[in-house]
Amino acid sequence: MGAGLTLILGTGRSGIAAARLLVAAGEPVRLADEKALPPALPRELAGAERCQGAFQPEWLAGVARVLLSPGVPPTSPALRAALAEGLPITGELEEAFLRCPVPILAVTGSNGKSTVTSLAAHLLAAQGRRAPAGGNLGRPLAELLIEEPDAELYVVEVSSFQAETFTRFHPKCATLLNLSPDHLDRYGRLEDYYAAKLKLFAAMGPADTLVLGEDAEAARRLASCPARRLPFSLGGPPPGGEGSFLAGGRLAFRYGGRERTLLEAAALPIPGRHNLANALAAVSLVLPFADDAEGLARGLASFRGLAHRMEEVGRLGPLRCYNDSKATNVEAALAGVAGLSAPVLLIAGGRDKGGDFDALAAGLPGVRLAYGIGEAGAAVARAFGARGRALGTLEAAVAAARAEGRPGELLVLSPACASYDQYRNFEERGEHFRRLVQEAAC
């Protein structure tokens, strides 16, 4: 668990949650942030030591280990000093896991993590299980342990940033949905990004369950993982007998010696073929803990999706408008937009994370016009050629779409980029888009 003083480096939501968890266990903490501490702290942290601003060597005085928040970059002077001193580095998710008395279901991948995490928790709730969702999605696991201690299971989304510090994190059931280039602005090399993702699975053994789909790279990277396989497939029943699948236009599963149909694919409320795969992944993830077919079908039919993930936000003249601001890389934008059946006016751009915009343009022949915004707006427009327009801002893109849209078309914000050039996060970007659509419709 860790004895002695822990330096909490980075005081965002996960850092504060970790500090609360450690203090509740009687462990001393020192809060440090190379930007600024939150203006208000929970009362249980009122007596904690505090450091902020430019790193000073005394931050590490008497420190036994460093608990690193995922948003702290590898270039952090404080982190580099801690590593130079040989201090152990841990993270909030790992510390919470070591104090967690019930099984953890973990979800990672380059795309689809938040939807699968939320849907898995929803499917468990539909079967009467107390299984709150969190991790990289919203509430840190440490916060869940404090505020929902009666849970039977926890479902956590795990980012590569969080997994970097794993040494003992051990989910009972976990999925790697897919692997594709992302966060190259942080990692530089694709191999380093993949290596961080794969740390989630390092402690899994034969008594655990590994959920994999049809992503060849994910399957290859985890070929030696000793956990039991429970696959999901859009191409009919998976080999090996058990798992979830799409067949004859219906979502179904085989488990425990029985096969059950759940619902028609067309009845799934969240749109796109990629969401059929997400739904099947969530089904396989929860089967070892709750396999009531009626409850699963009820959960699938009642799940309305998440904000900023191909969320319908209104009409703009003849256009139906969708907010997919969470699509922060090329592969996520491709997965969401390619599954739409109508012609699309696409808004894309932001801070480039090393994405291939030529691949985006080539993979979306159904995009009639692409409006480039933010730092990468000109590059997006160039990739789409005659279909591209470099407009700079969301306001300009929405105005252009209102003028150029045709009946039956869709307007989709699916940026394929990070938001940090113009917004604090993808949520703020999505809310701005929603507001622009609603104001223009008035």
- Averaged over successive runs of 10 residues, the pLDDT of the chain (442 residues) comes to 84 96 96 94 94 97 96 93 97 97 96 93 97 94 97 96 95 95 75 92 98 94 97 89 95 95 94 91 98 97 87 92 93 87 94 93 96 98 98 97 95 96 95 95 69
DSSP symbol at 245: E
Measured in degrees and rounded to the nearest 5, phi and psi for residue 9 equal -100, 110
The pairing of beta strand 104-108 with beta strand 154-157: parallel
Cα separation, 9 vs 417, whole angstroms: 27
Q: What's the pLDDT at 89?
A: 97
Place of tokens 């989910």: 171
Superfamily of domain 95-302: Mur-like, catalytic domain (3.40.1190.10)
Q: Read out DSSP for 357-402? A: HHHHHHH-TTEEEEEEESTTHHHHHHHHGGGEEEEESHHHHHHHHH
| pTM of the entire predicted model | 0.82
DSSP symbol at 238: P
Closest C-alpha to 140, from 304, 22, 2: 22
CB 415 within 8 Å of CB 429: yes
DSSP symbol at 68: E
Q: How many CB atoms lie within 10 A of CB 224?
A: 7
Point out the catalytic residue in the list 136, 275, 323, 329: 136
Catalytic, 136? Answer: yes
Place of tokens 């993979």: 363
Point out the catalytic residue in the list 183, 199, 326, 432: 183
Point out the catalytic residue in the list 111, 113, 274, 323: 113
Question: How does pLDDT run across 187-223, given as a tens digit for each residue?
Answer: 778 899 899 999 999 999 999 999 999 999 999 999 9
Q: What's the pLDDT at 1?
A: 47
Measured in degrees and rounded to the nearest 5, phi and psi for residue 12 equal -75, -165
Q: Where are the domains of the chain?
A: 5-87, 95-302, 311-441
Q: Token digits for 252?
A: 């179904």
Cα separation, 200 vs 218, whole angstroms: 13
Query: Does an H or E element contain 132, and which?
Result: none
Cα separation, 34 vs 4, whole angstroms: 22
Catalytic, 353? Answer: no
Q: How many CB atoms lie within 10 A of CB 220?
A: 10
Closest C-alpha to 174, from 228, 132, 224, 238: 228
Position 309: which residue type?
R
Cα separation, 218 vs 432, whole angstroms: 35
Q: What's the pLDDT at 238?
A: 82
Closest C-alpha to 172, from 211, 214, 125: 211
Superfamily of domain 5-87: NAD(P)-binding Rossmann-like Domain (3.40.50.720)
Cα separation, 13 vs 38, whole angstroms: 10
Query: Does an H or E element contain 135, and which?
Result: strand 133-135
Domain 311-441 has CATH 3.90.190.20: yes
Cα separation, 339 vs 345, whole angstroms: 14
Q: How many CB atoms lie within 10 A of CB 59?
A: 20
* C-alpha 336, offset from chain centre: 14
Q: Token digits for 319?
A: 């256009």
Question: How does pLDDT run across 86-136, given as a tens digit for each residue?
Answer: 999 999 999 999 999 999 999 999 888 999 999 999 999 999 999 999 999
Catalytic, 432? Answer: no
Q: What's the pLDDT at 442?
A: 63
